[in-house]
A = this chain, B = another copy of it.
Amino acid sequence: MKTTGEILREKREKKGLLLRHVSAQLDIDIAILSKIERGERKATRDQINKLAEILDINKETLVIQYLSEKILYELKDEDLGIQALKVAEKTIKYGATKNK
């Protein structure tokens, strides 16, 4: 599966846009976008929304990939990651509404 960064870079290039074009729209420095595309930094949730629009990427696909990377980042040093994911999945399926 393609990483968020790969998706972004591919689409940007396919559209013939330069880092400066896109980063201007995001209102951030070129450097950050470069890092995001190469996976050296994570985008913010907001930037993901904007990028989907700017680059005309299917939002669901992009968000799912982005979120899954965020999760994996949380678990990167954990042995029990898979088990935790499964528990989380069950909880989200059932319980859904449990906050006071």
Interface of A with B (CB < 8 Å)? 1, 60, 63-65, 67-68, 70-72, 74-75, 78, 80-93
Contact = CB atoms under 8 A, between A and B. Distances in A.
B68 A87 contact: yes
Contacts of A78: 63, 67
Copy number in the complex reads 2
Nearest to A60: B80
Contacts of A90: 1
Contacts of A80: 60, 63-64, 67
Contact of A71 (B60, B65, B71, B93): B71
13 contacts: A1-B90, A60-B80, A64-B80, A67-B75, A68-B84, A70-B74, A70-B84, A71-B71, A71-B75, A72-B92, A74-B74, A86-B89, A89-B89
Contacts of A75: 67, 71, 88, 92
